[in-house]
Amino acid sequence: MEIERQKIFGREDFDEQAINITFGVDSPFIPMMGICMTSLIKNNPARKISFHVFLDKIDRRDEEKILELCRQSPTTQIILYFLPQDLYKEIPIIEKNYSRAIFYRIAAAQFLSTRLKRIIYMDADMLCLKPLDELLQMPLENFLLAAVVDTDVATRKRELGLSDNYKYFNSGFLYMNLEFWGREKISEQVLKVLAEGKFFFPDQDAMNIVADRNAYKVRYIPNRFNNFFRVNSKEIPLTDDIVIEHFAGQKKPWHPWYNSPLTKLYESYQKISPWHDFVYLPRNYQEHRLMGRACLQQGKWLEALKWYFSYLKRRRIEKNSKRG
């Protein structure tokens, strides 16, 4: 596994005691990743953190904000690993809300397995609310990784043909044994599975298939390390023991049209991050419609009208593009 180039921000020294965390993102999710990083730094003040970010591109403004984050926290190190933009283009994606960046965690584990023993992988749509010490003290010897059991285990097991006693895990938060990963060539196995067919949750399904086929041991950790924001369309209240809050699903606290009790929590971390001025803008015709409806509910009639006409225009363009 090769990368095109890398760029280091902040602390340059290698510290074996640092917490190593990796992200795989495309450029639209860099602000959310930065807010997640801010929450990790704030809630682990006594620890050095090294962030390993796998991506294909980044604009100058986000680079400047990453540099600012490192200036705010001198013990923080952020390394950007640039991947080829056509990486994994051959792997099909069914779910339209996914980008090819979901496969970057596979590349990250493969590349870093020759450099690190353990690493935490996180989706960008998360917040850290408590220290990670309890997780880091868990032994991982002879385990492939530590993860939380997913919410839809029975359905996924049936569709994928997994063993009856196997527990299907969610790949949004993983504490990975990179020594085991590299020795067993897990990334190569996952890519081979992905080449076998189409999967609704491609990388997650493939990792679970590889773990089950080979009877690799998975350490199942409490849900508080990957607490789902919504389950079966219902928002789950936040409890005091949550370590990692995962804003999984289509509704996000940074969407201007979605008002949630957890929106203020998310905004509290955004305000102390270099991305405090980030404003999410609709990216497809469905989101233009939702934005118009939100403006209407707020009594912003002209804004609502603007977004409604924009919705009609975008819908025509996007549907014609699909037909072509």
Instruction: Please work out, in degrees rounded to the nearest 5, the angle formed at the alpha carbon of residue 92 by the alpha carbons of 87 and 96.
Output: 105
pLDDT at 102: 86
Q: Using an 8 Å Cβ cutoff, are 173 and 126 in contact?
A: yes
pLDDT at 322: 65
pLDDT along the chain (324 residues), means of 10: 91 89 96 98 96 96 98 97 88 70 93 96 97 96 96 87 94 97 96 89 94 97 94 83 93 90 94 96 88 88 90 86 64
Side chain identity, residue 195: A
How far, in Å, CA of 309 to CA of 322, rounded? 20
Q: Using an 8 Å Cβ cutoff, are 103 and 68 in contact?
A: no
What is the rounded end-to-end Cα distance, in angstroms, of the chain? 36
pLDDT at 229: 87
How far, in Å, CA of 162 to CA of 177, rounded? 22
Best CA proximity match to 103, nearest among 38, 41, 187: 187
pLDDT at 190: 96
pLDDT at 324: 55
Q: Which residues pair with 128 in a beta bridge?
A: 244
- Report CA dihedral (237, 239, 244, 248) to the nearest 10 degrees: -10
Q: Interhelix angle for 202-213 vs 153-160, to 10°?
A: 70
pTM of the entire predicted model: 0.93
Largest CA distance in the chain: 61
pLDDT at 97: 63
pLDDT at 95: 61
Phi-psi region of 142 (alpha: psi -120 to 50; beta: other; left: phi over 0): left
pLDDT in tens, 226-246: 999 887 778 888 999 999 999
Q: Using an 8 Å Cβ cutoff, are 280 and 255 in contact?
A: yes
